[in-house]
Structure 1
Amino acid sequence: MTTVLPRKTRHTIKAGLFAFALAGFAWGISGSTATAQVTAFKQAVAEAASDNTDVSAFYRANGYDAIWTGSDKASLKRRQALLQALLDAPAHGLPDQTSMVAKLTDALKSVQTTRDLGRVEAALSKAFVTYAEDLKTGMLVPSKIDDGMVRKKADLDAEALFTGLMAEQPTAYMRNLAPDSPQYRALMREKQRLERLVQTGGWGPTVPAGKKQPGQKGAGVIALRNRLIAMGYLERSASGSYDSALEQAVQAFQTAHGLAADGVAGDSTLKEINISPNARLKSVIIAMERERWLTPERGDRHVLVNLTDFSARIMDHGEITFQTRSVIGKNTHDRRTPEFSDVMDHMVINPSWYVPRSIVTKEYLPKLKANPNAVSHIHVTDNKGRTVSRGAIDFSKYTARSFPFSMRQPPSKTNALGLVKFMFPNKYNIYLHDSPQKHLYPREVRAYSHGCIRLAEPFEFAYALLAKQSEEPKAFFDRILKSGNETRVNLETHVPVHLIYRTAFVPNKGPVEFRRDVYGRDAKVWAALERAGVVLPGVQG
């Protein structure tokens, strides 16, 4: 999307480019004067670039030669491509760079000496690196926003960045700095659509409170109908009743927003229907930033867990080949599931549950002090893993810090981990697993665990993983399961696992879908984006 600038700003930019083309005069002077000017230029570049490690390293490597400030056509094309890319930054949900462009063009227009030229050269490179980093790997540092957002962004390869700029057509190169993923491109299109919608009045009046269901009539039903028509879930109609067409439209909306698709517009459904286009636009811009954080090397086959969607998927070459519901960490500070990526290398069939230290001391030790036979299905073990008789322990004399024992639940159908767990070893002690608490999976919001991710269909998930290394994955799995023995099964091909948090995402087929900000993390991301200069269109939808 091209940003349309005021005439005065566009004139300033053009004037700066013209003046800059004339600034190549320094290189046309011969003899000792030219040598002195070249030296002055390089010194100015070195000084101006010294506060940016990447830019300084580039110029040291290229001998402080100009890449933007020459009078040749290649330099002109790079300048033009960079300035236009900066002007188009808001299309990517980045801050408006009009003032930066004006500052750079003013500097170009004001060049009087070769030292001036050197300073502008370095300024252009610094603007380029900042823009490229924001676009390729994101503006924000996740861990500085929320301690559960522990994802590490990819490091910017500045050397490759400059090499690509010098080797490729500049305009295309600038355009290709954005994440090369179908999801990012789809989010960008949705952003543009919502911006147009906001500017033309949004989805019209909100729907009044009060449950609405099939068979009803009245102003509230008409308001619901009109809102869904504006949103694209219902064909235009003059019907004033809650008929089957409206019921199906409500179901489609509910499915696209992670709600129970019962076709009844209750409180939770109406709350989502009445969310403004501006609020949805925020979710899309946040999702674009989050997409920039996620490594582009995701794996041809990978596991994708979207926490806000309470789902786990196996992705093969961009297509969903398996999907199941999940339960994530409870919305308390010590239980929220973190966001990160790692690699799954094995599963354990008939697992023991080695109770985390925090649960042992916070939950079980107080119970054991009150009753040594509490939680009797869990063994108390010493530092060598041997079961210790509870009768030999005076639990009352220990504190959370001094308690010297561990606890383990042996394999069983009632084990907290169920009958299989899937391991991608990480310092957060997070993994995917079965659970005996099957009653939680039909619920709309599924945030109940201590942090690990429970799967509604763990056996089928295992079969899908094992199908790559066994001709009869189900038979192989069931044979081990029936043995009752705790068994580690290595994955011959390791599978990347990405735990993400997206309140807006675009499926391979169908319109954009939205989810609730279950942990409040997106609200924090948006506040950080605003502090960084990201703004929405001024019209409220």
Structure 2
Amino acid sequence: MLAFGAPQGALAGVTAFKQAVAEGAARDGELAEYYRNNGYGAIWTGTGEADRARRQALLQAIDAADAHGLPVARYDAQGLLRMMRQARTPRDLGAVEIAMSRTFLRLAQDMQTGMLTPAQIDSGMVRAVPVRSADELLSGFTAGNPAGFLRSLAPKSGEYARLLREKMRLESLLETGGWGPAVPAASLAPGQSGEGVVALRNRLIRMGYLERTASSRYDIALQQAVMRFQEAHGLVADGTAGAQTMAEINVPISRRLPMIHVAMERERWLSGPRGARHILVNLTDFTARIMDDDRLTFETRAVIGKNLKTHQSPEFSDEMEYLEINPVWNVPRSITVREYLPQMQRNRGAAGHLKLYNSRGQEVSRSAVNFNAYNARNFPFALKQPPSTRNALGLVKFMFPNKYNIYLHDTPSKSLFDRNVRAFSHGCIRLQQPFDFAYEILSRQEADPKTFFDRIVNSGRQTRVSLEQKIPVHIIYRTATVPAKGPAQYREDIYGRDAKVWDALQKAGVSLPAVQG
């Protein structure tokens, strides 16, 4: 019997080991290239201290994977140990070598950039995940401290660290009964008392929204606790536990934990540097934020795409390059032929705020066009809306050119920002406070950004203002976030994307603790 890690000695044994490594790696081009470049040498199965340290670091990292919401069984540590114990020949050791490298790569990539491929789950999740190559991961791992390398793989963002802590907190609570019994009332209001109020009080205490109290009345302290809960769940913060608020209060931890798991996986998809200054648009809470070093600098309400497959806002990252002030709205082809062409076929004067242009960019009189002679496939004209306060883009748009034709912009439809759920656009992101947003964006390059911006707006001329330093823009979809201060925030899964992600995570082996609450 050949003991695991024993010297391979004879040339025949070395050759057999290398042949086994080459054969085992052959079906994976990147892995094969790595071993070809290192002469098919061992990095796991040698007798030296470095190999032992790598084996130990990998097994310890697998054991700790659950803390990151990764399923330990996915990496089959017991199977690896069994292969090690049963290795009797150099060829056996070669098989162990490749099995350990494959397991390492799976764990490393899962930890750093997630288990799932976003676009395979939902067509709106078009985020490009920065997966590192096998050579980069294996070379980095073998070049330094193996345990330290594995610890370094998880996302470095403050959000990921906070999600990790929230996961542990909820799991601990789950083991001791969760948030307690559900509140046995459809709704409750200030001034009431009784069993339902006591249950509401106890549940909010357990959740951390209310200091411990013996009061059985829906008093001012309970009302303020309800308001804090409502604010953390994207509800109207009126302090009354109406039907919608009560439904959210009665959601058990076993339904919140999957939201944390999904958020952690999503954070791994965005594991690269976000940029010291960046713009963060969270579709689920209808906000756009300017962030500086993980701190909120500016926030405004936003309107996102309607919950229709053709209108849902996609998730991706890009860089803002310029502002277009007093923009012309070039009506997208899809909107032109689906929405405006049928209107103009019924009444050529419909949508009179839009001008018609031919393929040479010349304006065409509507009276010269028989709209009923065309359909969505052969309509040869473009529609544009000139700059004005009634322009669909408002008076400014913020450009990060992308193939999805998505950008941030002003809007004349201000009343929509008063809604709690704000999904009304064709996909672009409308801002409630676009001027203030622009002032902050320009503050890094203009001594008096307000005067600079307002002067251009007042000119009425379409003007492009380039940014001296591009700003990363991240359009994300998070139903669970954990701010640096305050309680975890939860939002509705408006497009149903997180349900698909959770389903995929479960199929990959993720599960919750057996205790429910």
Q: Shorter-normalised TM-score: what interval?
A: over 0.9
Q: Look up the match of 1:289.
A: 265
Residue 97 of structure 2: aligned partner: 121
* Letter matched to residue 474 of structure 2: H
8 Å CA contact 1:26, 1:37 repeated in 2: no
1:98 Cα deviation after fit:
7.5
Query: Which residue, 181, 191, 197 being the options, matches 2:167?
Result: 191
1:250 to 209, 218, 226: 226
Aligned counterpart in structure 1 of residue 214 of structure 2, from 233, 238, 244: 238
Between the aligned partners of 2:410 and 2:6, the Cα distance in structure 1 is 72
SS in 1 for 2:72: coil
Provide the residue aligned with 2:303 in structure 1.
327
Identify which of 507, 528, 537 aligns with 2:504.
528
Contact 2:7 2:46 in 1 (8 A): no
Distance 2:496 2:410 in 1: 27
Deviations 1:90-127 (A, max 9, x none): 21111222771111101100111111111101110111
Structure 1 residue 402 corresponds to structure 2 residue 378: yes
Whether 1:102 and 2:78 are equivalent positions in the alignment is yes
Q: Does 1:155 align with 2:131?
A: yes
- Paired residue for 2:22? 46
| AA at the equivalent of 2:14 | V
1:23 aligns with 2:23: no
* CA distance in structure 1 between the aligned counterparts of 2:273 and 2:211, rounded to whole angstroms: 41
Code of the residue aligned with 1:490 in structure 2: it is S
- Gaps of at least 5 residues in structure 2 are none
- Give runs of aligned pairs for residues 160-175 of structure 1, distance below 5 A: 160-175=136-151
Q: Is the 8 A contact 2:108 2:153 kept in 1?
A: yes
Q: Distance in 2 between matches of 1:70 and 1:396?
A: 78
Report the Cα offset of residue 271 of structure 1.
1.5
Alignment deviations for residues 204-246 of structure 1 (CA, whole Å, 9 cap, x no partner): 1112343322112222222211110110100111111110000
Q: Indicate yes or no: 2:337 matched with 1:351.
A: no
Residue identity over aligned pairs, in percent, reads 57
Structure-to-structure mapping, 1:448-463, within 5 angstroms: 448-463=424-439
Instruction: Report what 1:495 is aligned to.
Output: 471
Please give the residue correspondences for 1:82-481 in structure 2 after superposition, counting only pairs within 5 Å.
Answer: 82-97=58-73, 100-481=76-457
Q: Which amino acid aligns with 2:233?
A: H
State the alpha-carbon separation in 2 of the partners of residues 25 and 396 from structure 1: 83
Contact 1:328 1:454 in 2 (8 A): yes
Partner AA of 1:404 in structure 2: P
Q: Distance in 1 between matches of 2:331 and 2:320?
A: 21
Which stretch of the first structure deviates more once superposed, 160-169 or 71-80? 160-169
What residue number does 2:487 align with?
511
The 3-state SS of whatever aligns with 2:309 is coil
Q: How far did 1:167 drift?
A: 2.3
CA distance in 1, matches of 2:473, 2:331: 23
Which residue in 1 is equivalent to 2:46?
Answer: 70
Cα-Cα RMSD:
1.4
Q: Deviations over 1:344-363 (max 9, x none)?
A: 10111111111111111111
CA distance in structure 2 between the partners assigned to 1:228 and 1:530 by the alignment: 30
| Shift, 1:295, TM fit | 4.2
Contact map agreement 1:83 1:101 (CA 8 A) in 2: yes
> TM-score, normalising length from structure 1?
0.93
Mean alpha-carbon deviation: is it higher for 96-105 or for 263-272? 96-105
SS at match of 2:172: helix
Using the alignment, how far apart are the partners of 1:205 and 1:328 within structure 2?
36
Q: Which amino acid aligns with 1:271?
A: A
In 2, Cα distance between equivalents of 1:209 and 1:330 = 33
Q: Aligned-pair distance for 1:25?
A: 2.9
Deviation by residue 1:303-346 (Cα, 9 ceiling, x = unmatched): 11010011101111221111111010010111000000111101
Unpaired runs of at least 5, structure 1: 1-18
Preserved CA contact (<8 Å) 2:260 2:480: yes
Amino acid at match of 2:251: I
Say whether the 8 Å CA contact 1:86–1:98 is kept in structure 2. no
Supply the distance in 2 between the matched residues of 1:274 and 1:130 (Cα, whole angstroms): 38
Counterpart of 1:36 (choices 12, 28, 50) is: 12
Q: Name the SS for the 1:347 alignment partner.
A: strand
Amino acid at match of 2:314: P
Task: Map Cα deviations across residues 33-80 of structure 1 (whole Å, 9 max, x no partner).
Answer: x11111111111111111222221111111111111112221111101
For the 8 Å contact 2:479–2:490, the answer to whether it is kept is: yes
Amino acid at match of 1:24: G
Amino acid at match of 2:199: A
Contact (CA 8 Å) 2:156, 2:271: kept in 1 or not? no
Distance 1:214 1:414 in 2: 44
User: How far apart, in 2, do the equivalents of 1:205 and 1:469 lie?
Assistant: 55
Determine the C-alpha separation between the residues in 2 that align with 1:440 and 1:129: 47
Give, in whole Å, the separation in 1 of the partners of 2:199 and 2:156: 40
How far, CA to CA, are the matches of 1:168 and 1:267 in structure 2? 57
SS where residue 153 of structure 1 aligns? coil
How many residue pairs end up in the alignment? Answer: 517
Q: 1:159-214: per-residue Cα shift (whole Å, max 9, x none)?
A: 22122212222222211111111111111111111111112111111123433221
- Report the 3-state secondary structure (helix = DSSP H, G, I; strand = E; otherwise coil) of the residue aligned with 2:356: strand
| Greater alpha carbon shift after TM alignment, 158-167 vs 425-434 | 158-167
Tell me which moved more, 241-250 or 314-323.
314-323
Is this contact kept in 2: 1:87–1:97, CA < 8 A?
no
- Equivalent in 461, 481, 487 of residue 485 of structure 1: 461
